[in-house]
A and B are shown apart, each in its own frame.
Chain A
Amino acid sequence: MNVDDRLRRLLGGLDAGPGFEARVMERVAGLAAAAPREDLRAQFERRRALLRRRLLREAWMSSITILGLGACGGALLWRYASEIQQFATNSGQSVDPNLLIGGTAAVVGAALWFLIRRARG
C-alpha cells in the first residue's frame, strides 16, 4: 500500500466523537434561554437612555424659551419705557391705589398658582 492510501486510511475517519452536535445544541439552547433576559435588560437600558436624552432636550428647550421670552420682554420695556412710565403715572392718579395693589396681587398670585401646578403636574 502506498503512502497516499495509507494516509487516506489513517486520517479519513477523523471526526468529532458521537453526540458532538447534540452537545453543541445543548450549549446553544442554554444560551438561547439566557438571551431573552439579556434582551429585556438591553431594552430597559435603551429606554432609560432615550428618556434621559428627551428630558435633557426638553430642559434645554425650556431654558431657551425662557431666555427668549425674557429678551423680548426686556426689549419691549426698553422700547416703550417712556409710554409705560406715563401710563403708570396716569393710572396712579386716576385709579384707586387699593384696587391697583389688589389687582397686582391677584395677577402675581394667579401666575404663581399656574407655575406651581405646572411644576407638580
Chain B
Amino acid sequence: MPADDAIIALIQAGRVGEAFERLMPAYRRRVFGLAYSLLRDRGAAEDVAQEVFVKLWQVLPRYDGRAQLSTWIYAITRNTSISAMRKRRRPLSLSDPLVFEEAESRGASPSAEPSDGALWREVDALPDKQRQAVTLYYQEERTVEEVAAMMGLPVNTVKTHLHRARASLAAALAAAGREVA
C-alpha cells in the first residue's frame, strides 16, 4: 500500500510524529471497523480504536518492518478488542441503540422491503465470523484479501463466510419481504 510505504519511510527516518499523523486518517476507519465487527457496539469500538491509536503512538518507534504495517496494526486491534470483550459484562449486540436508531431513521424503506433495522437484526444474528466478514467487507468496499488480513484468516475461508452470510441474509430478507407484502 503506497500510504504504508510513506509511513514506514517516516518511521525509519525517525519522524515518528509525522508518521503517526499520516497513519491515523489512513487507518481510522479500518481500526474502528475491525473493533466494531468484534465488539458490535459503537461506543466500545470507539474506545478500543482510541486505545489502539494511543498504543500505536507508543510503539511506533519500535516498528521494525518485519511484519506488514497493516498486519501489525490489525493484530494490535484484534488483541485490544479481545481484551475489551473480556472486560465487558453485558451481552454483546450489534443492534446497540445508537446504530439501531440511525438505521431506523435512514430506512424509509420501500413498501415491499423490510427496514434497515430488520437488516441490522439479520446481520446481528449471523454467526460471529460471518458477521465480522460482512461488516468489514461492506464497510469500505474492501477486497476479500484485505478482509482476510484484517481477520487473520485465509482468503478462501473469508470467501466462504461471505458467501454463506449473503445467502442467509438474502433468504431472511426474502422471507421478511413476503411478510411485509
Contacts and interface: CB of A to CB of B under 8 A. Distances in A.
Tell me whether chain B's interface is mostly helix, strand or loop, or mixed: helix
Interface string A56-99: 00000000000000000000000000000000000000000000
Given A8-B138, A10-B116, A11-B139, A3 B24 contact: no
Interface residues of A, number: 22
Interface string A3-27: 1101111111011110011011001
A2 B33 CA distance: 23
B116 A23 contact: no
Tell me whether chain A's interface is mostly helix, strand or loop, or mixed: helix
Interface stretch (B1-9, B48-56, B75-83): B48-56
Contacts of A28: 20, 53-54, 57
Contact of B140 (A12, A16, A17, A27): A12
A7 B57 contact: no
Contacts of B24: 21, 24
Given A28-B54, A28-B57, A7 B138 contact: yes
Interface in B124-144: 134-135, 138-141
B91 interface: no
B141 A20 contact: no
B30 to A, nearest CB: 10
- Chain B interface residue bracket vs A: 35 or more
A21 B28 contact: yes
Interface in B1-53: 20, 24-25, 28-29, 32-33, 36, 42, 45-46, 49-50, 53
Interface of B: 20, 24-25, 28-29, 32-33, 36, 42, 45-46, 49-50, 53-54, 57-58, 103, 106, 110, 113, 116, 119-120, 123, 134-135, 138-141, 166, 169-170, 173
14 contacts: A4-B166, A6-B173, A7-B134, A9-B106, A9-B116, A12-B138, A12-B140, A14-B29, A15-B28, A16-B28, A20-B46, A28-B20, A28-B54, A31-B57
